[in-house]
Amino acid sequence: MMTMLHRYELCLGRKSQLRLLALLFSISSILQGITIILLVPLLRSLMLEGFGSSSRWFLAVGLTGAASLIVHFFTSLHAYKVCMDDMLDLTARSGNRIVDLPLGWFRADSATKVSHATLNAPSGLSHLPVIILPQIVINVVTPVVILIGMYIYEWRMAVVLTIAIPIYYLLQRWINRVSTRAIALEGSSDEEISRRVLEFGALQSVFRAAGGDRGMDRVRAAIDKNNQAMLDGLKNRSTPMLSAMLFIQGTLVVAIGVGLYLLLHGELDIATFTTLALFCVRFAQPLSLLPPYLSELTGIKANIETIAAIVVDAPSVPEPAPNKRAQAKDNSIDIEHVSFGYGPNNRVLNDVSLHLPGNTVTALVGPSGCGKSTLLRLIARFHDVNEGAVRIGGADVRDLGTDQVMEMTSMVFQDVYLFEGSIKENVRLGLPDATDEQLAEAARRARLDEVIGRLPGGWDAEVGEGGRRLSGGERQRVAIARAFLKDAPVLLLDEVTASLDGANEAAVTAAIHELSAGRTTVLIAHRLSTVTRADKIVVFNQEGRIDDEGTHQELAARSGIYARFLADHEAGENWRLDEVESHS
């Protein structure tokens, strides 16, 4: 419990008020227990001395009962305020942490993780201060107080209840183990549904081209798996929970049986027996209600860990102190003996060294998986290198700090994601306070003005979620316009024209050629027309090492990977020409 609370407070970034709530609910429960204990002298007084002599006990029961209700009422009100404050803080902390995460953290499943951490998990945790915590405290503290009162009046009945406690504790451990496994399976199947639904919405064109039921089979399979996981969890949890409830009821019967025996043998009067029987009921009833709430606590732990996976445990890149940040003297790039891998057994780059002079264009070529895209991401500090250093303007990117690296770099990738909104809003991301004249100039240079001119609404045309209302080439032009607007001295391009049609490729290629002027540009491309325009071409082999570097003419004159690249390109061109001739 304390470990869970510690993790919860790490997610909040401050001390939680759950301890205060637990204390106040405990006080309310103690007062409630004392109220029940005072029923023994009250009933004795009524039966033996009459109503007039019982007034002081009525007053005592009334005062403690009222105090219990008042404390419980105001604590419950405060619990709702704590709930709202904590949920807002958890959501804000998750959002702020996501903004600060290294860009390399974001992968294909990141959307699901972010959705669960910012929406589902805080919603699940909202029950903690207002329902689960009060019920657990009340259902634990009240029986303890009643047990103490039982020892005061009849220790033999109290011993029966005491013997039951360690057995009940073991049953609760059984429930906790089963619930933990069930919650893990249910959480996994919940994430699977989220992934399948996102996939279903994003890949409709693929599903429809393939025929069938347009991807619903995958969604249905995920829902069926989730339903089965929930049914299995309920079935597995029902056995220990029912066992715990039956055990407590059995303990109640045995304790009352002992009291009845003592009554029949004259060791208890009827008033005391009646009240102690009520004690037994009030001892057993809360413990019978406890298992579902303790099971819910397992789900609470899972939700805390979902948020903690981002807010607490997600990796961070160290940032230099503000007064120790380095300054880049120019826009040259140096890669010095860089090695990097996504894990201990997944080395991607091996001892890579390059000097890229300022205001030059460098093309990276090589087989798939050789580390070209990884190198671009290291320059932009998506990750920190395992060995060596990446420098911009002579300064290590780790000493520049992520914010300054982001200011100095513009990135355009093959798959461009646009935010739901207008074209103007998406372009303005490159420079939030840009004037309309600056926007128009960026659009013209990116060849985006042609798109704006033919779309209804022009600049205010909605692009849809992810930019789905625009073609791939049109989305690329929006991204390039952003880069023009940002006007960063370093430009990183990753397969920008790979999946474009002829018209869009020509427009985007021309825009990129203009955008590259006066910047240090590093690009990845498989199209020969793009590669040959580079000032330098760097060739990687499959092991993530540099095989060769030079101009197109220099590399074409040597044997090696680049020569094979040219041969494959020529064979492809000849094949297409042969195909055309065979159909003419």
Query: 288-312, pLDDT tens digit by residue?
Result: 888 888 878 888 888 898 899 888 8
Q: Is the pLDDT assigned to residue 276 strictly greater than 80?
A: yes
Categorize the per-residue pLDDT at 562 as very low, low, confident or very high, splitting at 50, 70 and 90: confident
Q: Is the pLDDT assigned to residue 526 strictly greater than 70?
A: yes
Nearest to 405 by CA among 426, 427, 378: 378
Report percent pLDDT > 70 for the chain. Answer: 90
Nearest to 283 by CA among 165, 156, 187, 118: 165
User: Which tokens go with 443?
Assistant: 């659009």
Nearest to 444 by CA among 398, 502, 487, 484: 484
Q: How many angstroms separate the CA atoms of 371 and 376, rounded?
A: 9
353-367, 374-388, 477-491, 557-571: least confident range: 557-571
Side chain identity at residue 356, one-letter code: L
Q: Are 368 and 316 in contact (CB under 8 A)?
A: no
Q: What is the mean pLDDT of residues 359-380?
A: 90
Angle, helix 472-486 to helix 436-445, in steps of 10 degrees: 130
Categorize the per-residue pLDDT at 52 as very low, low, confident or very high, splitting at 50, 70 and 90: low
Higher local confidence (pLDDT), 387 or 118: 387
Categorize the per-residue pLDDT at 574 as very low, low, confident or very high, splitting at 50, 70 and 90: very low
Q: Is the pLDDT assigned to residue 186 strictly greater than 50?
A: yes
Which residues lie across from 416 on neighbouring strands?
none
Which residues lie across from 362 on neighbouring strands?
522, 536
Q: Are 94 and 291 in contact (CB under 8 A)?
A: no
Domain spans, the chain = 14-154, 155-267, 333-574
Q: Does residue 467 sit in helix, strand or coil?
A: coil
- H/E element, 326: none
Query: 433-469, pLDDT tens digit by residue?
Result: 888 899 999 888 888 888 898 888 899 988 887 788 8
Residue with tokens 């407070």: 9
Q: How many angstroms separate the CA atoms of 196 and 163, rounded?
A: 51
> What's the CATH number for 333-574?
3.40.50.300
Measured at the CA of 338, the angle between CA 337 and CA 340, to 5 degrees, comes to 150
DSSP one-letter string for 347-406: EEEEEEEEEE-TT-EEEEE-STTSSHHHHHHHHTTSS--SEEEEEETTEEHHHH-HHHHH
Report percent pLDDT > 90 for the chain. Answer: 27
Query: 57-116, pLDDT tens digit by residue?
Result: 889 999 999 999 999 999 999 999 999 999 999 988 888 888 778 777 777 667 777 877
Side chain identity at residue 419, one-letter code: F
Residue 545 CA from chain centroid, whole number: 35
Residue with tokens 């009046």: 153
Measured CA distances, 425 to 1, 433, 499 (Å): 47, 11, 25
Per-residue HEC secondary structure of 137-189 comes to HHHHHHHHHHHHHHHHHCHHHHHHHHHHHHHHHHHHHHHHHHHHHHHHHHHHH
> What does pLDDT average to over the chain?
84
Angle, helix 2-12 to helix 270-311, in steps of 10 degrees: 40
Of 47-61, 278-292, 409-423, 478-492, highest mean pLDDT = 478-492
Count of Cβ atoms closer than 10 Å to residue 466 Cβ: 16
Q: Does residue 422 sit in helix, strand or coil?
A: strand
Residue with tokens 């109220």: 35
Q: Is the pLDDT assigned to residue 583 strictly greater than 80?
A: no
Q: What is the mean pLDDT of residues 50-57?
A: 75
Please give the pLDDT value at position 581: 38
Query: 482-509, pLDDT tens digit by residue?
Result: 888 888 999 998 887 766 666 777 887 8
Query: 133-182, pLDDT tens digit by residue?
Result: 999 999 999 999 989 988 988 899 899 999 988 998 888 888 878 877 77
Q: Is the pLDDT assigned to residue 579 strictly greater than 60?
A: no
Q: How many angstroms separate the CA atoms of 226 and 88, rounded?
A: 29
Q: How many angstroms separate the CA atoms of 187 and 193, rounded?
A: 10
Length of the chain: 584
Q: For the chain, report the end-to-end CA distance as a whole number of angstroms.
A: 78
DSSP type of residue 116? I
